[in-house]
Copies of this chain bind each other. A is one copy, B any other.
Amino acid sequence: MDAREPRGMYFEDFEVGHTYTTPRRTITNTDIVNFACLSGDFNAPHVDWEFCKQQPYGEPIAHGPLVLAIAGGLSCQSGMNDGTVIAMMGVDEWRIHKPVKHGDTIEVAMTPIEKRLTSKAGQGIVVFNRDILNQHGETVHSMKSSNMYRCRP
Could you tell me which A residues sit within 8 Å of B by CB distance? 1-4, 7, 9, 19-21, 23-26, 28-31, 33-45, 47-51, 60, 63-66, 68-70, 72-83, 85, 87-96, 103, 105, 107, 109, 135, 143
Contacts and interface: CB of A to CB of B under 8 A. Distances in A.
Contacts of A68: 65, 68
- This chain: copies in complex: 6
Tell me if A's interface is mostly helix, strand, loop or mixed. Answer: mixed
A41 B44 CA distance: 16
A44 B24 contact: yes
Contact of A76 (B7, B29, B43, B51): B43
A38 B70 CA distance: 8
Nearest to A73: B40
